[in-house]
Amino acid sequence: MTTDPLLLVSDHIEGCVHVVTVPDGIEAGRLTGRHLSEHAGFLTLPGGRVACVDDRRGELLVLDPYGRDFVAVTVPVAVPAEHLAADPSGRWVAVTTGLGKNAEPWSDLLTLVDLAAGDVARVRTRRGEPGVTVLGSDDPLVVLRHREPGALSVHRFADLLTAPPGCPQVEPLASLPLPDDGHGDAQDPVHEWVFAATGAGVHRARRGGDGLVAEPVIPWGGPARGWYLRLDTRRRALWSTLRGGPADPLRWPEWTNHSWTYELDSDVTSLTDLGPGLVFRLALAKEHAAFARIHPDGDELILLGDDGAGRHTALPPMEGAPARGSTPWEGVQRRAVAASPGADWVAVTRGGHGEVHVVDARSAHEATRLKLDTPLHHGGHLLLLAQGDGADGDPVGR
């Protein structure tokens, strides 16, 4: 039996998943020949299991890092995987397809999986980069977040799962309009709310029968918007990073970044300045939120405590990091960040160097620097897993 917590490190370019103990960095397992979708990410399931998608083989993987067999379940799914979500019970899983290495949307395939019964089906919806959430119950609903034109489209999971073979086109039972620039999805299982981030704010809707009922839009509260949403299961809040500044990606070092927190039970919004550069995904630890900021003048890990205090830890530079005069996305190294709501550790990668910094969020000091034998090009992807940490309360892949 492996120790707790565990860090899963996916080198999606090399096709390897490292499993190491935290903070000592002892290898507890390894999975080779698996190129996980960095965009769909990891989805924590009840019972300490983790779902992800192998983009090369076209398989949904259910990993059991604490079990005897690391790969517990494999199911064929359509790829390239764009987003991955489950209902709160972890039984019903949906995988959408996106652009992959293509410049234009080309796939409209959606895969539905019943992990309990082993059933799987594929249907056609709309081409694009759809987000997805799955509202649970005895009759779960699949909610797709579309762009251009923007919409939240609702399907009964059972209808899709019993669709005939041949990937038939399906039409939604109900739909709510959204702005065309949606990007970022979350679900609050307590109130059966779904959330979608747009330039206008966070659109919220609740389940009403086989459809959705729109509720007031949550404003960003600043001159910027978030492109990523995450549910904080411990604090019952939504988190995002608001990006402002020039629209030209070549001027990315001038982008502004603020952490954004919205408390679901009190409707209170908080903003904290994170500094200029590139900040995207975030991670949630026991008492801190963690952000990795990339900038030509120096990178850092930013830890925001429950008390509102921020601590900054300098990170060593990356060869091949985004530079002034070029975009921060293509052909460059990046950083991934991970944490568990049940632990005080935070992990952040050094793309291209095969290194992972393990930081104690309480002191903001680096406890361990892991050196892996794969390079972690593009930053790789991480999941910090602690048994019983409640992370499965967020049923959207991260």
What is the per-residue pLDDT for 2?
53
The burial class, CB within 10 Å (0-12 / 13-18 / 19+), for 319 is exposed
What is the per-residue pLDDT for 191?
93
The answer regarding whether domain 6-393 maps to CATH 3.20.20.150 reads no
111-153 pLDDT tens trace: 999 999 999 999 999 999 999 999 999 999 999 999 999 999 9
Residues of the chain falling short of pLDDT 70:
1-3
Which token pair is 177? 């309009």
Provide the whole-model pTM: 0.96
What is the per-residue pLDDT for 17?
98
Which token pair is 236? 């019952």
SS3 readout for 184-250:
CEEEECCCCEEEEEECCEEEEEEEECCEEEEEEEECCCCCCEECCCEEECCCCEEEEEEEECCCCHH
| Nearest residue to 20 (alpha-carbon basis) of 385, 387, 398, 323 | 385
Q: Which residue has the tokens 């609702």?
A: 154
Report d(CA 35, CA 321) in Å as an integer: 22
β-pair type (43-45, 49-54): antiparallel
Domain ranges within the chain, ordered by starting residue: 6-393
**φ, ψ dihedrals at 160, nearest 5°:** -70, -40
What is the per-residue pLDDT for 307?
85
Residue 271: other Cβ atoms inside 10 A: 14
214-250 pLDDT tens trace: 999 999 998 899 999 999 999 999 999 999 999 999 9
